[in-house]
């Protein structure tokens, strides 16, 4: 589910979107977005919980967090744009995957 933010609306406007997601240090799958998302007014955080989706303007990448580790910080921070409702276990391993993000029906 996407939040009500400029970055989330930008992402939604480009759906469906297929991305190659790689494991990032065992706690997130990350993938480069082929366009910039508007992060104006986004709340940038350095801590995330499992199931949250973030966007890094600095890396122009989406991160889907599948593991929460207390005290782990993501610098310079990531804008929270949504969350996974179900199926998180599908990405919670060390493999790279190709995933298509689409609107729920």
Q: How many Cβ atoms from other residues are within 10 Å of residue 71's Cβ?
A: 5
Q: Strand runs (DSSP E) across the chain, as ranges?
A: 17-24, 28-32, 44-45, 52-56, 61-65, 78-83, 97-101
Among 4-13, 31-40, 42-51, the least confident range: 42-51
> Angle at the Cα of 32 (from 94 to 80), degrees rounded to 5?
85
pTM equals 0.86
Q: Is the pLDDT confidence value at 71 over 70?
A: no
pLDDT given for residue 55 in this prediction = 94
* pLDDT over 60 at 70, yes or no: no
* Mean pLDDT of all residues in 15-44: 90
Give the mean pLDDT of 8-31. 92
Give the chain's mean pLDDT.
86
Alpha-carbon distance 5 to 26, whole Å?
27
Structural domains present in the chain: 6-101 (2.40.100.20)
């Amino acid at each position: 589910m996407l939040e009500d933010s400029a970055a989330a609306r930008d992402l939604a406007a480009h759906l469906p979107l297929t991305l190659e997601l790689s494991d990032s240090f065992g706690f997130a799958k990350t993938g480069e977005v082929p366009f910039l998302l508007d992060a104006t007014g986004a709340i940038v955080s350095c801590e995330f919980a499992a199931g949250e989706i973030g966007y890094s303007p600095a890396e122009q990448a989406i991160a889907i967090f599948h593991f929460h580790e207390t005290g782990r910080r993501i610098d310079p921070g990531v804008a929270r744009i949504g969350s996974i409702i179900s199926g998180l276990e599908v990405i919670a391993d060390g493999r790279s995957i190709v995933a298509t993000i689409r609107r729920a029906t």
